[in-house]
A and B are shown apart, each in its own frame.
Chain A
Amino acid sequence: MRRATASFGGVVDIRSLVVSLILGAIFAAAGIFIVARWPIMEPVTLGMMEGDAKRGAYLARSAGCVACHTDVKMGGAAMAGGAPLNTPFGRFVPPNLTPDPVHGIGDWTLDQFAVAVRQGVRTDGKAYYPAFTYEFYNQFTDQDMADLWTAFRTVPPVSVPTARHDLNFPFNLRWGLKLWRARYMTQSETTPVMAQSDAWNRGQQLVNGASHCGACHTKRGLFGGLDANAKFAGNTNLPGGSKAPSISTEDLLSRGWTVANMAYALRTGITPDGDVLGGSMAEVIAQGTGMLTEGDREAIATYLLTPSGQISVGLPTNAAASSMAGMEGMAGMESGGN
């Protein structure tokens, strides 16, 4: 056996060290191989389910699909790819989702679309990066998916390729996302609560689901996972440099927010003290919440402003009708006309 004397005076067995290193490398490679092969897709069979384009388009708008996948500032075509997002993990580019068969998703099926949106899994079985906020969409119903799919296919196809993401090591190792998902992905809390008002339940459905407020208003850890102990506590490190304030109920109430002025702000950006929201929130309002129904804006506000454990007060009568129209998809709800 060859031995060597290390600087601290101990004796190191070179051969055993080399064998250990080789074995370690083999185990690591095997581990990576296993993770990379680990199937994460759950099959769906929506087949040729019929969807409603108007419901789907409204959902696409409220879920941020249109805002993210359209480069509005540069006058880009609808859904043909969004402005790049510069994040601490690197640069993400929202892809072309038009029905173009080569550069868009024109060659997809409804099933593949549902897997992508609700599960965050690509057609090749690999995971999407959570810059695509699929972790908030896992409670979309089959009908929601059919509606979205129908709406997406009303958009003119655009034959423009999407630039690749440009990510920092180790975030560019896509197989690592499977570990990330196992650690950080949870079910969205959108299940209606019987004791709460329709507005509260609709607000919960939007805030924790489609509108994915927590994606910006909850800070992320070192590996980009949302901090479950700091839900809605704010994030000072958003892509583009703006800051998302706390939207915890306590903080909102202390800053003078009410259902009326918050619903108003989600359309106009005007805060209780007369400031006008800028940064990324201005875009959220212009391209998202500003295009929702008044009832849905009030629902979001109702949910955010009701302290945990308290029962929310119902909406004023004249707003209830428009709120109901937005909740057609909820089980057991009648859709009221205006």
Chain B
Amino acid sequence: MKRSITIGAIIVSWLGAAALAHSGATGVVLERMNGMSAMKKVMGELAPMMRGEVPYDVAAAQKGAATIMAHAGGGMVKLFPEEAIPATSYAVPALWDRWDDFSDLADLLESQAFGLAMAIPNGLKAPQPPSPPHDMEAMNNMADMVGMTDAVAQPSQDLTVAQLMGVEPTADAHTSATVLPEERESSSLDYTMMAAPAAFERVSQTCAACHSQFRRGS
């Protein structure tokens, strides 16, 4: 009897601690906070890997991509039922006012996490497309590309005047979370030819797009 009471007390206090860790949140609010925390843990573990600061671990990275997929898409959206927003929640009313935009970002996150899983085996550099033998022009072009490690434009690409002034979009804008769904061209992305860091940064861009519109605070 005493033992079962002890075990029960341990379980209850663990649950309580989890709720307290999220400022007293309960129910779906706690569930979605736990989901966000799980994704945050993945991002925190993968970022140094993507920066080349810690050894690249394909298995761990794949597991991380799978975790994000599990908490994105429909799995995320179902945890945001329309109801009065509890004080413990970080969600803002705009999330429900612009439900289509929110669910689009949740779906985009899921597909980008899947893309990340495809890009992870490539490591920190994109695979080089094979060039025909003895093609001097191609070899010269390859030499010009020294320093560019991604088939898709590098995050710190050299931007044109028109792009810097906002007159034209950047190379990756049309596939990113920053454009409206109807303007996005996801089909042009080939994650199998992408460096893992580039795929990873697309994921973070989607997180940022959602947080900036639908999460309270910063």
| A interface residues with partner B (beta carbon < 8 Å) | 53-54, 57-58, 60-61, 66, 70, 72, 75, 78-79, 151-152, 154-156, 241-245, 260-261, 264, 267-270, 272-283, 285-286, 290-294, 322, 338
The residue from A72, A267, A277, A292 contacting B211, defined by CB atoms under 8 A apart? A277
Chain B facing A: main interface SS: helix
CA of A286 to CA of B207, assembled, Å: 12
Nearest-Cβ distance from residue A317 to partner chain B, whole angstroms: 14
The residue from B47, B53, B155 contacting A274, defined by CB atoms under 8 A apart? B47
Q: Contact between A66 and B211 (Cβ–Cβ < 8 Å)?
A: no
Residues of A within 8 A of B40 (CB): 273-275
Question: Whose C-beta in chain A lies nearest to the C-beta of B168?
Answer: A78
Q: Contact between A58 and B164 (Cβ–Cβ < 8 Å)?
A: yes
The 7 A-B pairs with the shortest beta carbon distances in the complex, nearest first, are: A274-B44, A278-B211, A282-B212, A57-B164, A274-B43, A276-B207, A78-B166
Nearest-Cβ distance from residue A161 to partner chain B, whole angstroms: 20
Question: Whose C-beta in chain A lies nearest to the C-beta of B162?
Answer: A154
Question: Whose C-beta in chain A lies nearest to the C-beta of B90?
Answer: A278
Q: Contact between A66 and B217 (Cβ–Cβ < 8 Å)?
A: no
Nearest-Cβ distance from residue B210 to partner chain A, whole angstroms: 8
In the complex with contacts A151-B165, A285-B208, A291-B218 CB distance below 8 A: no
Q: List 6 A-B contacts (CB under 8 A).
A: A60-B164, A61-B165, A79-B166, A269-B208, A270-B44, A279-B217
Residues of B within 8 A of A78 (CB): 165-167
Interface assignment of B156: CB less than 8 Å from any CB of chain A: yes
Task: Add 13 more A-B contacts to A53-B161, A151-B165, A154-B167 (CB < 8 A).
Answer: A58-B164, A66-B166, A75-B180, A151-B161, A269-B207, A269-B208, A276-B43, A276-B211, A277-B208, A282-B208, A283-B212, A286-B205, A338-B147
Q: Contact between B204 and A276 (Cβ–Cβ < 8 Å)?
A: yes
Interface assignment of B28: CB less than 8 Å from any CB of chain A: no
CA of A294 to CA of B208, assembled, Å: 20
Q: Contact between A273 and B217 (Cβ–Cβ < 8 Å)?
A: no
Q: Contact between A154 and B165 (Cβ–Cβ < 8 Å)?
A: yes
- How many of chain B's residues have a CB under 8 angstroms from any CB in A? 38
Q: Contact between A270 and B159 (Cβ–Cβ < 8 Å)?
A: no
Residues of B within 8 A of A281 (CB): 212, 218
Interface assignment of B31: CB less than 8 Å from any CB of chain A: no
Q: Contact between B218 and A267 (Cβ–Cβ < 8 Å)?
A: no
The residue from A155, A270, A290, A322 contacting B155, defined by CB atoms under 8 A apart? A290
CA of A267 to CA of B39, assembled, Å: 19
CA of A19 to CA of B42, assembled, Å: 75
Question: Whose C-beta in chain A lies nearest to the C-beta of B180?
Answer: A75
Interface assignment of B63: CB less than 8 Å from any CB of chain A: no
Residues of B within 8 A of A79 (CB): 165-166
Interface assignment of B78: CB less than 8 Å from any CB of chain A: no
Q: Contact between B218 and A264 (Cβ–Cβ < 8 Å)?
A: no
Q: Contact between A261 and B51 (Cβ–Cβ < 8 Å)?
A: yes
Question: Whose C-beta in chain B lies nearest to the C-beta of A154?
Answer: B161
Q: Contact between A66 and B205 (Cβ–Cβ < 8 Å)?
A: no
Nearest-Cβ distance from residue A120 to partner chain B, whole angstroms: 22
Digitize B155-181: 1 where CB-to-A-CB distance is under 8 Å, 0 elsewhere: 110010111111100100000001010
Question: Whose C-beta in chain B lies nearest to the C-beta of A285?
Answer: B208
Q: Contact between A264 and B164 (Cβ–Cβ < 8 Å)?
A: no
In the complex with contacts A57-B161, A151-B161, A269-B207, A264-B212 CB distance below 8 A: no
CA of A278 to CA of B47, assembled, Å: 17
